[in-house]
Homo-oligomer: A and B are copies of this chain.
Amino acid sequence: MHFVAANPAFEARVRASFARQAAMRFIGARLADVAPGRCTIELPVHPDLSQQHGFVHGGIVGMIADSAGGYSAFSLMPDDASVLTVEFKINLLAPARGDLLIAAGAVVKPGRTLSIARADVFARENGRETLIATLQQTLMVMQGVADEPT
């Protein structure tokens, strides 16, 4: 699906908001691509992120998928709106291992009050990418709420 961004400065807005997410910086995630209704987040794998079997923790996979879906939705929102995750559901399909995780978010249906998005997460290992998780998500458009902390 192809969308048109209501705000021509959508990319700068998404990048500024992502930069305010201390949690993304803390785990080492970076914002790769931003397009209207789409957003890709990359996370280099490091040992601090692992669960008991040595793979990346499913909750960390959920974090980048949640942010990828959320910023996909945010890219289509007007200038005076902010985004909030209402809920998400994620299936973990394969162990999160390799050197890089890539969460690719995409809006399914933008709305005035709620937006629905998806995100697929891939793990890159030895130059090969495997789908390791898929997320379905409901986001709220908060009209008139600044994206900065107050």
Contact = CB atoms under 8 A, between A and B. Distances in A.
A54 B51 CA distance: 26
Interface residues of A, number: 55
A35 interface: no
Contacts of A63: 57, 59-60, 62-63
A136 interface: yes
B91 A21 contact: no
Given A136-B136, A140-B114, A148 B52 contact: yes
Nearest to A50: B22
Interface string A46-78: 011111111011111011111100000000000
Interface of A: 17-18, 20-27, 47-54, 56-60, 62-67, 82, 84-94, 108-109, 113-114, 116, 131, 134, 136, 138, 140, 147-150
18 contacts: A20-B52, A22-B49, A22-B50, A24-B57, A26-B48, A52-B147, A53-B82, A59-B60, A59-B62, A62-B88, A84-B92, A87-B91, A91-B116, A91-B138, A108-B131, A109-B131, A113-B113, A138-B138
